[in-house]
Amino acid sequence: MNTENQQRNPVLLVHGLDDTEAVFHKMRAYLIQRGWSVYSLDLVPNNGDVGLDELAKQLADYVTATFASEQRLDLVGFSMGGIVSRYYVQRLGGINRVQRFITISSPHHGTVVAYGSWRPGCIQMRPDSIFLKDLNSDAVVLGQLDFTSIWTPYDLMIVPANSSQMSVGREVIVPVPLHPWMLTDSRSLAVVKIVLGRIKLPFLKKASSQ
């Protein structure tokens, strides 16, 4: 067991819009109890006042300051945090640092809820935004990682909910009734543990093409 724990990458958790790292309190405790080293950061500002590319630079700086250059990471991004993490992976060199990448209820293809704000970060999360079109233009590179998208069909923040689907990697549908509960529901936590533990089960299926 000690050898297994030593071989595990540290896990970095990235929160969503209007959240702080405290939103991961249950997931953090769950993973630590099972032997993972868990890290998180507060993205500032967290309300969409700056672009997601700017927040991704904060993530990149945090990785550089916190981990040795040769250290591989596992990255978990929730909601907006999944898109911030994608920008880090696809545009800021994270592809060379991250081994496993999980997004949870992230608007990979935008959410109509983002039309409710004119803040730069929210505009970037609108369907067919220039920002998302650019990221999705070469999303295939995520296939170089162990990439998984976890989402719920009942999401009222990611609309349509299947915006969380990707044509690369794996997808896992967890029928949780509320967006924030995706970080606390026992089924979501179990999926995160399985993916981080590199255990392959039948319900971890390849995502279908869009």
SS3 readout for 6-18: HHCCCEEEECCCC
Q: Are 72 and 120 in contact (CB under 8 A)?
A: no
The bridge status of strand 73-78 relative to strand 38-41 is unpaired
Amino acid 205: pLDDT: 46
Q: Are 194 and 172 in contact (CB under 8 A)?
A: no
For residue 109, the Cα-to-chain-centroid distance in whole angstroms is 14
Query: How much is the pLDDT for 178?
Result: 96
What pLDDT does 198 receive?
73
Question: Tokens for 179?
Answer: 């967006």
- Residue 147's pLDDT is 97
CA distances from 159 to 76, 128, 162, 178 (A): 21, 13, 8, 12
Q: What is the pLDDT of residue 7?
A: 73
Residues with pLDDT less than 50, the chain: 1-5, 199-210
Rounded to 10 deg, the angle between the 52-66 and 80-91 helix axes is 70
pLDDT at residue 93, as a whole number: 96
- From residue 26, how far is each of 17, 111, 158 by CA, in Å? 18, 26, 22
